[in-house]
Amino acid sequence: MNELKVRLPQSSVSYEIKIEKGLLQKVGKEVAQLTKSRRVAVITDRNVDSYYGARVEQQLADEGFEVSMIVLQPGEQTKTFSMMPLIFSQLIEAGLTRSDVIVALGGGVIGDIAGFAASSYLRGIDLVQIPTSLLAQVDSSVGGKVGVDLPEGKNLVGAFYHPTQVIIDPEVLNTLTDHYFADGMAEVIKYGCIWDAAFFDSLSKLESRDAVMTEIEWIIARCCDIKREVVEQDEKDKGMRMLLNFGHTLGHAIEAYYHYENITHGHAVAIGMATLTEISEARQLTEAGTADQIRHVLKMHQLPSELEDPKAYNDILSFVSKDKKQLNNQLHVVLLNSIGSAATHQTDVSFFESLRTGGQDH
């Protein structure tokens, strides 16, 4: 088993991340070690519930837990502020008190909404994250960002609220479609780009999903360890943590332009990483050849490096200027010096101007 410990001096909390194939079979014992309580609410979605809900419920029941399953609709539309009263009602109905536990069993959406529920229900109760998508295993389940969307935009309400443990079983990735496996690989590749050239190199040698799966425990552990290192130094996302947004400024704008429907997060980030690096290479801010290396590894992992319809950039750029990560009205993009080394760069939307084409009719 790979075990990592995240220590956050600013919040005086620490928690473990455990990574092992088959760990879901031991989930009852793991949760039992974390709490004296024997009442738990598992928040999940219908898809994950159909694969893993009964197994997790049984494991917890075997350890003497009274388990309530709260099963939500799958998809980003579930992650809204308007869902919160329904979740709180179900937690009250389940009789959850301040000493009990919420288990988030699912991908990024479930981790975010269940985490937000845990942060605010009775002013905060224990949270165990059991991420089931690759994206959630390497990114969103670690670092304490939880939250929901408002009609005005994504992730506009939330908290930094850390779990008491993250339990990662890479075997659950076997039920992901190739599309969503690739989606998670975009974030995996991102860690290589911003932090670890040797890791990036290893990823460029794993030529298939099966090859990745043979190394998966180590791959997830490396990503979580990089995130740990970053978050320990900048828990509240005021400095170094922004490096984790490499490719995300453009990626978020692409997702918003397509109404979060026709493109998924990892695919948009993949295009963002490659496109941004082409621009920064042309401006001699990034070592020549870096964009090519990124495009190569993205292709190997079934990810795009460019938008199918480049004319869309004429409209996508207006979403870049709305990026909520702007500080004091300045846009901070993350650029690579070379593979494995990144820095933030203060600019404005004109940085992306070369993406505009003349072919727009309005």
Residue with tokens 């042309």: 282
Angle at 1 between CA 23 and CA 49, to 5 degrees: 20
Pick between residue 41 and residue 243 the one whose CB is nearest to ligand GLY: 243
Cβ pair 110, 141 in contact under 8 A: no
190 binds ligand GLY (CB under 6 A): no
Pick between residue 245 and residue 280 the one whose CB is nearest to ligand GLY: 245
Taking CB under 6 A as the binding criterion, the range among 138-146, 202-210, 262-270, 314-322 that sits at the site for ligand GLY is 138-146
Query: CB of residue 187 vs ligand GLY: minimum separation in angstroms?
Result: 8
**Known binder of ligand: residue 158?**
no
Cβ pair 212, 218 in contact under 8 A: no
237 binds ligand GLY (CB under 6 A): yes
> Binders of ligand GLY: how many residues, by CB under 6 A?
6
Pick between residue 244 and residue 333 the one whose CB is nearest to ligand GLY: 244
Cβ pair 191, 334 in contact under 8 A: no
**Known binder of ligand: residue 154?**
yes
What is the side-by-side order of every strand in the sheet holding 39-45?
Answer: 2-8, 13-19, 165-168, 126-131, 101-106, 39-45, 66-72
**Interatomic CA distance for residues 345 and 335, integer angstroms:** 7
User: How many angstroms separate the Cα of 339 from the Cα of each of 171, 182, 200, 294, 336?
Assistant: 30, 20, 8, 8, 7
222 binds ligand GLY (CB under 6 A): no
**Known binder of ligand: residue 109?**
yes
**Known binder of ligand: residue 187?**
yes
Among 166, 131, 133, 160, which Cα is nearest to 145's?
160
Taking CB under 6 A as the binding criterion, the range among 172-180, 237-245, 276-284, 297-305 that sits at the site for ligand GLY is 237-245
Residues 145, 222, 265, 301: which binds ligand GLY (CB under 6 A)? 145
> How many Cα atoms within 13 Å fall on the side-chain side of residue 240?
13
Among 244, 313, 318, which Cα is nearest to 279's?
313
Query: CB of residue 141 vs ligand GLY: minimum separation in angstroms?
Result: 10
Pick between residue 52 and residue 195 the one whose CB is nearest to ligand GLY: 195
What is the CB neighbour count within 10 angstroms for residue 65?
A: 22
Query: CB of residue 314 vs ligand GLY: minimum separation in angstroms?
Result: 28
Pick between residue 241 and residue 267 the one whose CB is nearest to ligand GLY: 241
Specify the DSSP class assigned to residue 238.
Answer: S
Query: CB of residue 243 vs ligand GLY: minimum separation in angstroms?
Result: 9
Taking CB under 6 A as the binding criterion, the range among 137-145, 171-179, 215-223, 287-295 that sits at the site for ligand GLY is 137-145
Residues 74, 107, 143, 192: which binds ligand GLY (CB under 6 A)? 143
**Interatomic CA distance for residues 215 and 201, integer angstroms:** 14
244 binds ligand GLY (CB under 6 A): yes
**Interatomic CA distance for residues 306 and 229, integer angstroms:** 31
**Known binder of ligand: residue 27?**
no
Residues 79, 190, 228, 241: which binds ligand GLY (CB under 6 A)? 241
Query: CB of residue 182 vs ligand GLY: minimum separation in angstroms?
Result: 18
Query: CB of residue 166 vs ligand GLY: minimum separation in angstroms?
Result: 13
**Known binder of ligand: residue 132?**
yes
What is the CB neighbour count within 10 angstroms for residue 206?
A: 20
162 binds ligand GLY (CB under 6 A): no
Task: Indicate the burial class of 149 (C-beta count within 10 angstroms; 0-12, 13-18, 19 or more).
Answer: buried
Angle at 178 between CA 174 and CA 179, to 5 degrees: 130
**Interatomic CA distance for residues 217 and 356, integer angstroms:** 41
139 binds ligand GLY (CB under 6 A): yes
Query: CB of residue 191 vs ligand GLY: minimum separation in angstroms?
Result: 11
Binding site, by residue number, is 108-112, 132-133, 145, 154, 187, 248, 265
Binding site for Zn(2+), by residue number, is 187, 248, 265
Residues forming contacts to ligand GLY in the complex (CB under 6 A) are: 139, 143, 145, 237, 241, 244
